[in-house]
Amino acid sequence: MNTQRLILAAISGVFTYGCVAAMLGTIMPTFQLSEAENGSIALMQAIGLMVASISVGPLVDRFGKKPALVVSLLIISAALFMLPSTGGEFNLVRMALFLLGFGGGILVTAANALASDINVAQRASTLNFLNLFFGVGTMATPLVSANILGNNATTLCYVVAVVSAIALAMNGTTAIPGPKKEGAFSLADAGTMLGRPALWLLALMLFVYVACEVGIFNWEVKYLMGQGVSQTTATNILGFGFAGALTVGRLIVSKMLANVPPQTVTLGAAVLMAVTTFLMLQTSSPAVTIGCLVLAGLAMAPVFPTTLAMVGDAFPRGTATAMGIVITAGWAGLALSSQIIGSIASSSSLQSALMVLPAAAVVMAVANLALRATMGTKAKAAAAR
């Protein structure tokens, strides 16, 4: 097994999804849709992500990661070429975003399942290192759009389509191991997996986390523009500030996790997320808002990959299936937050709507504490035996 080549293949997939994840917030102002319509197209992307993630896990466990990686990148490339041809027509944009989400859901599940198996002993560190390239991708999209492409949404779609094609070539030519017999998922395992509280607490954590992260990616540019910041500057802030902080934070935490338990890292992250996102919404100063945004990015950095590492540790059998369920919960958070934020913003203000973010972070901290109690009880029972 060529470990280095496998890591590069997984990185190319996660980087591609990072580019895709930051696209909607970057190009949303060019659609000239209402706040409610913006919420609706974000919902369609979320539905695509959910449908893919919940269905692909058992298939990955049964047939392996490579088919899923290749198919997902083909779908993403097709959706990116389709998006410019919509002409901003609402229903066509929704269709393109659904396909983009569907391909992305398959890609995220398969790439993280691949990375999870590369170094089992250092799973949390490996997944944080891998997902820092998600951060690089989310930085690249707004920065290239604002500074090189002049916020031209059509050209941006084609550029990201080329990135997807490169990742497709990388994964298509890499010898990726097939499914492991000991890790295969069967219907007989479903009851045991679904009956474990740990699965649903991990799912809840990712549900509220993604609501926070994607809420910022989709709405922060518009929020900063409402404070008088230009679109180009706001887009750069999203790229250099928030996405940059996600990237740096994951690099730092990938080393920290060698000594600090994953549950402690994610609990601390939840508390800091609640504080920073709340303070971000209490000021009228763009400078203070930006400072809080950067700190929020650092706080959020370890949550997604570390939660998936906890899933891998808890479910060594049927890992991709369990990851698919938890990741699907994350995309459900995206769908719900997008609808809530869009609806509240339409009737009140975007500032009021974004209070969803600190509220979600508080829920995440509570879920983490409940998970800690559950795992602690399990550990004590094992020791007693």
pLDDT in tens, 332-345: 887 788 778 888 88
Task: Determine the pLDDT at residue 385.
Answer: 33
Whether residue 124 lies inside any domain: the answer is yes
Q: Given pLDDT bands bounded at 50, 70 and 90, which one contains residue 190? A: low
Q: What whole-number distance in Å separates Cα of residue 138 and Cα of residue 240?
A: 10
Tell me the residue range of the domain where 139 lies: 3-177+188-380
DSSP symbol at 112: H
**Tally of structural domains, the chain:** 1
> CA distances (Å), 83 to each of 78, 147, 206, 283, 316, in order?
9, 21, 28, 36, 39
Q: Name the pLDDT band for 297 (thresholds 50, 70, 90).
A: very high
Q: How confident is the model at residue 186 (pLDDT cuts 50, 70, 90)?
A: low
For residue 150, give the nearest of 64, 47, 230, 252 by alpha carbon: 230
Give pLDDT tens digits for 79-90: 999 988 887 788
Answer whether residue 376 shows pLDDT above 70. Answer: no
Give mean pLDDT, residues 301-320: 86
Per the CB < 8 A criterion, the answer to whether 89 and 32 are in contact is: no
Assess if residue 385 is contained within a domain. no
- Residue 322 domain-assigned? yes
> Rounded to an integer, what distance in angstroms lies between the CA atom of residue 343 and that of residue 207?
19
Task: Kindly report the CATH number assigned to the domain that includes residue 219.
Answer: 1.20.1250.20
Q: Which residue in 77, 63, 67, 66 sits closest to 17, CA to CA?
A: 77
Res. 312: pLDDT tops 50: yes
Predicted pLDDT at 381 = 36
How does residue 180 score in pLDDT terms, banded at 50, 70 and 90? low
Q: Is residue 226 scored above 90 in pLDDT?
A: no
pLDDT-derived band at 95, boundaries 50, 70, 90: very high
Residue 379 has pLDDT above 80, yes or no: no
Among 138-142, 150-154, 252-256, 361-365, name the most confident range: 361-365
Asked whether residue 182 is assigned to any structural domain, the reply reads no
Residue 185 one-letter amino acid:
F
Residue 7 in domain: yes
**pTM assigned to the model:** 0.76
Distance (Å, whole) CA 267 – CA 33: 37
Of 336, 360, 335, 355, nearest to 345 by C-alpha is 355
In a domain, 31, yes or no: yes
pLDDT band at 314 (very low <50, low <70, confident <90, very high): confident
Q: Classify residue 183: in a domain, yes or no.
A: no
Q: Please check whether residue 86 lies inside any domain of the structure.
A: yes
Q: Given pLDDT bands bounded at 50, 70 and 90, which one contains residue 250?
A: confident
